[in-house]
Amino acid sequence: MATQTLEAAPRAATTVSLEHFDRRLRLFNRICAGVLIAFALLWLIPLLWAVDTALKPNAETTRTTWLIDDPTLDAFGRILRDTDILNWYGATFISSAVTAIGTVLTGSLAAYALSRMRFRHRNVVFWFVLAGIMIPGQVLIVPQFREFDSVHLLNTYWAVALPQIPTAIAVFIFKQFFDGLPRDLDEAARVDGAGAFRTYRTIIMPLTRPAVAAVFIFTFVSTWNNLLWPLLVLTTPDLMTVPVGLATVQGTFGIRYADTMASAVLGAIPLVAVFLLFQRHIVQGIAGTGLKG
């Protein structure tokens, strides 16, 4: 806004050259838009092709064309009837929600202590937590698997959710957010006789909604999409998450391409819905944490 008012003065002085410049710029911007639209359409082709295929009868998929002679929802019906996909939705939703709630709660509590409380070895604790960002989760799968095997928790929601709850980056994101909130709020609450937990719950957390939304959505989506870990710990079809279920049954479709694509589309729908609903949170979450992390 401020730059626009500032620019008005010099523009009047150099009208001629700027007019020429504006015309050149407008042409340039139009070319940019054209190139970008072409790429965006190219990027949409795989998704559109999947939907297109899923709407064909299986027999028609061998003719590779966008046109559908006999559009039908049969493939979706078969997937819903013949696979456990409805169970997978439920199972994935439960483990993703439990993980996301756990990550937000444990992460924000720990971050509150690290941001607001004075205690001995605070820096040691902070660096200890930060070190966790360095450890790629994938190198832990073997010991984690033996751990859950030894306490007989394989094939449970616990096995999927628990190891994904402690996320060092979530603590870091919350701490950064808390550090940005004015201390006067805490002081005022303390004067009113509120303890640390009440300050956290009634003053700090309500102000932290953007960070809570970002961490919750990210944890939810990454748990939902995780393949390797749930693949190892879940072998009962009822408990499988959507990615594990899809990866497990994909071989059985053979050349029934419409069915395969219907299963892919059904697997994508919940996340496309999450994306459309929370687009802004997701994008801002990446931008904010990515650049500051």
Name which of residues 123 to 152 contact other proteins (CB under 8 A): 125, 129, 132, 134-136, 138-147, 150
Distance CA 226, CA 276 (A): 20
Tell me the closest approach of the beta carbon of residue 93 to other proteins, in angstroms. 13
Residue 75 sits in the site that holds other proteins (CB under 8 A) = no
Give, for 107, the enclosing helix (H) or strand (E). Answer: helix 85-116
Residue 3 sits in the site that holds other proteins (CB under 8 A) = yes
Distance CA 87, CA 92 (A): 8
Residue 192 sits in the site that holds other proteins (CB under 8 A) = no
Q: What are phi and psi of 152, to 5 degrees?
A: 55, 45
Distance CA 217, CA 166 (A): 15
What's the token pair of residue 283? Answer: 């994008």
- Residues 196 to 225 in contact with other proteins, rule: CB under 8 A: 196-197, 200, 221, 224-225
List 87, 101, 166, 213, residue binding other proteins (CB under 8 A): 166
Tell me the closest approach of the beta carbon of residue 52 to other proteins, in angstroms. 9
Distance CA 249, CA 84 (A): 10
What's the token pair of residue 22? Answer: 């504006």
Residue 193 sits in the site that holds other proteins (CB under 8 A) = no
Sign of the Cα pseudo-torsion (137, 140, 141, 146, in order): negative
* Residue span binding other proteins (CB under 8 A) among the ranges 68-76, 78-86, 98-106: 98-106
- DSSP letter for 193, please: T
Residue 185 sits in the site that holds other proteins (CB under 8 A) = no
| Closer residue to other proteins (CB): 73 or 272 | 272
Distance CA 279, CA 130 (A): 28
* Contact track, other proteins, 14-53, x by CB under 8 A: x--xx--x--xx--xx--xx-xx--xxx-xxxxx-xx--x
- Residues 273 to 292 in contact with other proteins, rule: CB under 8 A: 274-275, 279, 282-283, 286-288, 290-291
Nearest to 245 by CA among 125, 122, 82, 27: 82
| Closer residue to other proteins (CB): 143 or 206 | 143
What is the CB neighbour count within 10 angstroms for residue 240?
25
- Residues 247 to 276 in contact with other proteins, rule: CB under 8 A: 247, 250, 257, 260-261, 263-264, 267-268, 271-272, 274-275
* Residue span binding other proteins (CB under 8 A) among the ranges 70-78, 79-87, 108-116: 108-116
CA distances, 172 to each of 3, 100, 291 (Å)? 35, 16, 13
Residue 181 sits in the site that holds other proteins (CB under 8 A) = yes
* Residue span binding other proteins (CB under 8 A) among the ranges 67-75, 76-84, 246-254: 246-254
Distance CA 9, CA 19 (A): 15
Residue 153 sits in the site that holds other proteins (CB under 8 A) = no
- Residues 78 to 97 in contact with other proteins, rule: CB under 8 A: none
